[in-house]
Structure 1
């Protein structure tokens, strides 16, 4: 059962260590594939207009206040979070850098290529599909093992220096960015709740799926 997964699977294409700056082609390919799916899912959730994921709420709020795209705002937020790693003594890998570039780019590409759904059913179906895509992308990306994303590194870094439970630290980060993003005009709604409650099982399913087929 995928909900019982407790560790990230290791595949033939997984990197032996996160700080690997010369990964195999297959490792780099699956890293990028996972991030493309992740960014596609984030973009589709924004497109659904049912409510964004917490960090996309924040990015959309910045976008509305500065008249830049959500993808560019996501890129700026990611780079800013990465800057905080200096004080947390975290080390970025190739996956960290590609996370910033690909996810931000895919959000804007998705919003440019696709039209938002027009009826109630389609909007919420799209929000569910988007969370599943983010989960699948996360599974592929995590199995590649080429370094955490900026937000994951912030979470683990803060956990180390505060000695607080990782769940508490992550919850505080997600709630904080949602509230700030909502204040700035980001979209919060049922889709935000679908993401919040669905992303854990979706990532677990992504890891289970990758472990079974690759």
Structure 2
């Protein structure tokens, strides 16, 4: 249990850090943060606050999928925004294009690892990723194709709201699905005894 909790919160903090990395790279945010940045610009609010409000709103979309929120779900709503704002305060703006490119690539990788960590901890997916896992469970479609479809849809809405679009956005939308599919098995907690079935979610 302790190991799973540590994995959960490290994953959530890393996800928030990856958000700040995308913003500081300034080469285009990931699709969800194109949306977050667009709304933040519209209402002149911090991106962390918008992330928290969006996470809460997305939970409503779980109802038709019959998904049940767990500790990880609720923690996701709160921790991501706080971690993103804290990381933005610590990561300076970069002028070097090379440094920004490296930060962008690192942000994509950190984001995929973070997603695998907090989902694999087994305390329930976050609001956004719950859409992915819920649709996967209901339709049988691959995680890769579902995640890619969600990211592209959110990106279109975010662009209309004036969010930051760029090469980083395209890179993330095309690669995050395969990367999560690769990383998720690394962090799934296995039962110590073959006769014990570990729960997927703790509600």
- What is the TM-score when the length of structure 1 is the normalising length? 0.78
CA contact under 8 A between 1:134 and 1:202: conserved in structure 2? no
- Aligned with 1:72: secondary structure? helix
Deviations 1:116-146 (A, max 9, x none): 2111111111000111111221222232111
Deviation at 1:71, TM superposition (A): 1.1
Cα distance in 2, alignment partners of residues 157 and 200 from structure 1: 15
Query: Residue 131 of structure 1 aligns with which residue?
Result: 108
Q: What are the within-5 Å matches in structure 2 for residues 28-47 of structure 1?
A: 28-47=5-24
Query: Residue 72 of structure 1 aligns with which residue?
Result: 49
Q: How many residues align?
A: 187
Query: Residue 172 of structure 2 aligns with which residue?
Result: 195
Query: Residue 98 of structure 2 aligns with which residue?
Result: 121
Alpha carbons of structure 1 residues 202 and 175: separation in structure 2 relative to 1, 3 Å: closer
Selected match of 1:91 from 68, 92, 114: 68
Q: CA RMSD in A?
A: 2.3
Unaligned runs of 5+ in 1: 1-23
CA contact under 8 A between 1:71 and 1:108: conserved in structure 2? yes
Alpha carbons of structure 1 residues 170 and 202: separation in structure 2 relative to 1, 3 Å: closer
Cα distance in 2, alignment partners of residues 77 and 127 from structure 1: 23
Deviations 1:172-214 (A, max 9, x none): 4322211111111111111112212332454356447658xxx
Cα distance in 2, alignment partners of residues 73 and 43 from structure 1: 14
Selected match of 1:60 from 37, 41, 47: 37
Deviations 1:26-62 (A, max 9, x none): 2111110111111111211111110111111101010
Cα distance in 2, alignment partners of residues 26 and 158 from structure 1: 28
Alpha carbons of structure 1 residues 33 and 64: separation in structure 2 relative to 1, 3 Å: same
